[in-house]
Amino acid sequence: MRKVLLSPSLLSADFSNLASALKLIENNGGDAVHIDVMDGQFVPQISYGQPVIKSLRPLSKLPFDVHLMVEKPELMVDSFAEAGSDWITFHHESTVHTDRLINHIHSLGKKAGISIVPSTPVESLSEILHLVDLVLVMSVNPGFGGQKFIPYTLEKIKKLSNIKSQKNLDFLISVDGGVNSSNAQSVIDAGADILVSGSAFFSGAFKMEDFKA
């Protein structure tokens, strides 16, 4: 039986009290802290960046699962690594030289993830799946917390999970957007290894122990 990890997203926390959000994550089954970085270009809003990660870093022992929703992530990965990110995930749609960037993230001693928006096919990752530690399948269009899970993305998770077992690969499948207690079991059954949850987790309605792989 595989262990499914929970990575609560700080995007739904009270930004005036991120320290207590970190405590809440640690005390409620969080295995990592999902940190959504938005640049106002790749997605319309601006959230937080390197200085915020740096000041949060001493407050938690959990891995920082940094999701870069930014244009030109290659210009930023060094500073995000330096600030204390552990897993650095960038978008396939945001840059051309994905192979180079994955290798570069590894050279910084960090785990490398690649993310795809709902309209990007999993097949577009086929050449680089053996390089990554994590694939983040977006189940909403990125940019905002609290959106509704897009049902067709379940098929994408299943497809990715099949490719993973056929090719005997060991990247983790993370699913991000609209995950809640009514769809979490199907997301796990489809093959997810990590559930990202923002609004459902911070509303207190989502408990990992209700689900099993």
Residues that bind Zn ion (CB under 5 A): 36, 67, 176
DSSP annotation string for the chain: -PPPEEEEBGGGS-GGGHHHHHHHHHHTT-SSEEEEEEBSSSSS-B---HHHHHHHGGG--S-EEEEEE-S-GGGTHHHHHHHT-SEEEEEGGG-S-HHHHHHHHHHTT-EEEEEE-TTS-GGGGTTTTTT-SEEEEESS-TT-SSPPP-TTHHHHHHHHHHHHHHTT--PEEEEESS--TTTHHHHHHHT-SEEEESHHHHTT---GGG---
**176 among known catalytic residues:** yes
Site string for ligand DX5, 174-203 (x = CB under 6 A): --xxxx----------------xxxxx---
11 binds, among Zn ion, ligand DX5, none (CB under 5 to 8 A by kind): ligand DX5
Q: Is 170 a catalytic residue?
A: no
Single out the segment in contact with ligand DX5 by CB under 6 A; choices: 73-81, 94-102, 137-145, 150-158.
Answer: 137-145
For ligand DX5, which residue has the nearest CB?
198
Maximum Cα–Cα distance across the chain: 46
Contact call for residue 118 and ligand DX5 (CB under 6 A): no
Q: Quick check: 91 binds ligand DX5 (CB under 6 A)?
A: no
Give burial (CB, 10 Å; 0-12/13-18/19+) of 100. exposed
Out of ligand DX5, Zn ion, none, which partner does residue 79 contact, by CB within 5 to 8 A per kind? none
Complex with ligand DX5: residue 171 or 201, whichever CB lies closer: 201
Among 66, 140, 154, 163, binds ligand DX5 (CB under 6 A): 140
How far, in Å, CA of 176 to CA of 60, rounded? 22
Query: Residue 143 touches which of ligand DX5, Zn ion, none (CB < 5 to 8 A by kind)?
Result: ligand DX5
Closer CB to ligand DX5, 84 or 146, in the complex: 146
Which of 31, 36, 65, 193 does the annotation list as catalytic?
36
- Interface with ligand DX5, residue 34, by CB under 6 A: yes
Residues near ligand DX5, by CB under 6 A: 9, 11-12, 34, 36, 67, 140, 142-147, 176-179, 196-200
Residues designated as active site: 36, 176
